Amino acid sequence: MSSSTKSTANALTMPRHVAIIMDGNGRWAKLKGKLRTFGHKAGVEAVRASVRYARENNIQALTLFAFSSENWKRPEEEVGVLMDLFTLVLKSEVKRLNKNGVRLQVVGDTARFGDKLVSLINKAEKLTEHNSELVLNIAANYGGRWDIVNACQQLAAKVKQGELSAQDIDETLFDQHTSLHGLPEVDLLIRTGGDHRISNFLLWQMAYAELFFSSELWPDFDEHVFHQAVLDFSSRQRRFGLTGEQIESEEVAPC
């Protein structure tokens, strides 16, 4: 990121937690006369740029939607390339992440992945578990509905075992059983590729997220586009159910 962009970012209200739907790899490749898989490989540099921007600007958590639970329906060859790419990136990037103080977490139903990939995920998470510069969540075989159902199943099991009663369950307890428990709620969702939907991503965690849709295809996403999303986020008044007047009165109230 340029020094001028970084100085501007320092003056903004930064989101604590940013989530990104990385869309447009296939269309980017098609525009260049390449196979869809070429676009997925090209998108790795956009991931690096996103992590770099988040870390340099003190964003606490960055969650990237890498592979949804619905993506298994894609052509077998493309799914295979995505799994191979995930494995390759884990091998090549984890040392860099660790060196830069990034904690890596993979969230989703990883039971469907092969033993080799699961082993790599566990090793990467173990290596980086004490890092605190940035929490990087990779959502793989993830769906927002799955996350909610999974939390419900955990709580139901505890009720059945007598560890708690149904009346004990509130939003705080429920949140503790979701994939991103312990992290701030998502402040900003960015989706590239021009579509305006959230595609079953972080349905619980995005209750009050600000949404930013970019026409840029994912391989073209860089720190400049990320910064434009943050600029837009910083200009919005977040009311959380209050009126604009209430928010403004709190802002000007003496300490």
Q: How many Å separate Cα 220 from the centre of its chain? A: 18
CA count, 13 A, side-chain hemisphere, 70? 7
CA 180 remoteness from chain centre: 10
- 71 flagged as catalytic: yes
The one catalytic residue in 23, 25, 57, 187 is: 23
- The tokens describing 144, both together, are 């927002």
* Residue closest to 88 by CA, chosen among 129, 116, 122, 52: 116
Active-site entry in 10, 58, 71, 98: 71
Structure tokens at 170: 């509130």
Tell me the C-alpha distance between 27 and 255, whole Å.
52
What whole-number distance in Å separates Cα of residue 22 and Cα of residue 63?
10
CB–CB of 104/126 below 8 Å?
no
**Is 170 an annotated catalytic residue?**
no
The residue ranges of DSSP E strands in 79-146, in sequence order, are 102-107, 134-142
* Exposed e or buried b per residue across 170-198, where buried means at least 16 C-beta atoms within 10 angstroms of its C-beta: eeeebbebbbbeebebbbbbbbbbeeeeb
Active site residues: 23, 71
